[in-house]
Amino acid sequence: MQLRDHTPIVLDKFNGLWKRGDPEYTPMDHFSDCENIQFVGATGFRTRDGIEIAQDIVGPLANIVRIYNFITQDEQTLLVLADDGKLYHVTNNYLTVTLILDIPAMKDFAFVPWAGRAYITPFDSFGTAPNIIQKGLSGEFLYVYLGDGTTARKAAGAPPTAGSLTIVNGTGNTDAGLHLFGVLYETDTGFLTAPSRFTTFTTSAGNGVSFSSIPVSPDTFVVARRLVATKIIVNYNGDTTGYQYFFIPDGRIPNNTATTLSNITFFDADLLEDATHLIDNFAEIPAGVNLAIYHQRLVLCTTFTDISIALVSTQGEPEAISQISGLLIAPLDGNPLTAYSELRDVLYGFKRNRTFSWVDNGDDPSSWPLTVIDYGLGCPVHGISTVVDSGAASTDYLIIASYRGVVIFNGRYSDPELTWKIVDLWNSYNVNLFNRIQMVNDTVNKIIYASTPDFLLLYGDYANGLDPKKIRWTPIRFDVQVNTITLVETSRLIVGSAQLLVP
């Protein structure tokens, strides 16, 4: 019904928050100020759902700074870091808490799952505004956690350092001539250390080889030893590491107790599997700020001393990283690398305001060609959204928190950004605190969640389309501050806080 020159305005849909320019120009189907709502269907909204304590036990974890969803081989679990540097594995429907790593200086960490294991790297922020950066902790390392409740340990491992390999003739046959022999350790994650305890021995054509005094590791995670040898050396120059080593067939001792292996027969033609590259691998892998998987290789970036270098493992061996050929170097500009992610068979690396790409050419990582994608946009350390409860990025595109806003990246950055309607809100965030941003993408319910520098939750509903004009945004405020978020059970949101929720 029309009343005295007034034409009714029908609001049949609501499209969320509008924070762009003068509030007077807010579209009629948006609010210039709204909070704590939840979108319903394509047009409606209501008061948001409440929250409850996920860890309903006596003495739940508090002062939480980072949570990751860790899917083991038989259940969905959490890795939870408290602000005192204690990292916990939370299992059994979040009722069982196990301390797996304790590093007081660890104020944040990165994580990636691999074959039921968790690889973990501790880091912190350094410097003062406006030059605050994140990098791996000095004197700290990449850790591996088996997912079984035992304490996480340093990834990789040191070669044998004690004992002296003793070699004598045994029954069997070998090619006659001088060989170099060595021994290495094999760990419970399949990592092979560098060989050491090199010993010369001249084999005889009518004899095999027997070994004794084989070193035993003091580490309980060593499960086997492997023997290696060179082919016949004609003019030995005394340089034990300057020759090519091969694994000896039948030269594996499948335990960490036996010190002898007798009557091994092999010929030079049988030495096929090269072990030389193990000499150059890190025995201790330095800590960084980000972990990613590319072509079944582990990628780690931004150590305490090398902020523009990424370390890349051997294919299929996440702990085998060469100090010579396993390096990717981003252009040096004083800014650290922040993240890596695979997209459409390309490895993308990010700084906070740069984006690069590398493509596996089938050779060593140090030879992969570098391409600069963008000189102005990048992302913070947790700025790449993970998808549902997988902990991985989408295979078709990445959703990235950049200085400009939340953007879609599919090899290039979309324009305008997904946060186009709330650009003033995004620009109000302190860029020195962008390391607090963590995003998850619930592709089932079509919702993007982001923890923000001001400890709120930014909620973006894209049921009407993943489009800057169609996505609907609103901030959400809880009775506790939002430090970190993750998705479990496909689309259940878990919030980590420095406070306890009071019932």
Residue 12: which pLDDT band, with cuts at 50, 70 and 90?
A: confident
The overall pTM is greater than 0.85: yes
Residue 39 counted as domain residue: no
**Of 231, 246, 280, which marks where a domain is finished?**
280
Let me know whether 350 and 483 are in one domain.
Answer: yes
How many residues in total does the chain contain? 503
- Statement: residue 502 has pLDDT above 60: no
Burial letters 351-362, b for 16+ CB under 10 A, else e: bbbbbbbbebee
How do residues 356-381 score in pLDDT, each as one tens digit?
999 999 999 999 999 999 999 999 99
Residue 26 counted as domain residue: no
Residue 3: which pLDDT band, with cuts at 50, 70 and 90?
A: low
Let me know whether 84 and 208 are in one domain.
Answer: no
Question: What is the pLDDT at residue 503?
Answer: 46
How do residues 92-139 score in pLDDT, each as one tens digit?
988 899 999 999 999 999 999 999 999 999 999 999 988 899 999 999
* Residues near 320 by beta carbon (within 8 Å), at least 6 away in sequence: 156, 191, 192, 278, 281, 313, 314
| Residue entry with tokens 């104020």 | 107
- Statement: residue 11 has pLDDT above 80: no
- Identify which of 449, 400, 445, 452 has the alpha carbon closest to the alpha carbon of residue 425: 452
CATH for 107? 2.130.10.10
* Residues near 326 by beta carbon (within 8 Å), at least 6 away in sequence: 311, 312, 313, 314, 364, 365, 366
Let me know whether 395 and 252 are in one domain.
Answer: no
Question: What is the pLDDT at residue 130?
Answer: 86
**Could you give the dihedral angle defined by the CA atoms of residues 445, 451, 456 and 458, in that order, rounded to the nearest 10 degrees?**
-40
What six digits make up the tokens of 86?
A: 């204690």
Question: What is the pLDDT at residue 156?
Answer: 97
Instruction: Provide the mean pLDDT of the chain.
Output: 93
**Of 238, 261, 280, which marks where a domain is finished?**
280
Let me know whether 227 and 110 are in one domain.
Answer: no
pLDDT above 70: percentage of residues in the chain: 97
Let me know whether 176 and 148 are in one domain.
Answer: no
Let me know whether 269 and 289 are in one domain.
Answer: no
Amino acid at 51: I
Residue 262 counted as domain residue: yes
Residue 36 counted as domain residue: no
**Of 227, 252, 280, which marks where a domain is finished?**
280
Q: Total domain count for the chain? A: 2
Average pLDDT over residues 236-247: 94
Let me know whether 320 and 447 are in one domain.
Answer: yes
- Statement: residue 303 has pLDDT above 50: yes
Higher pLDDT, 71 or 136: 136
Residue 246 counted as domain residue: yes
Average pLDDT over residues 62-79: 91
Q: Where are the alpha helices (DSSP H) in 313-454?
A: 423-427
Eight-class DSSP state of 451: E
Please provide residue 320's backbone torsions phi and psi, each rounded to the nearest 5 degrees: -100, 95
Residue 25 counted as domain residue: no
Question: Domain range holding 250?
Answer: 166-280
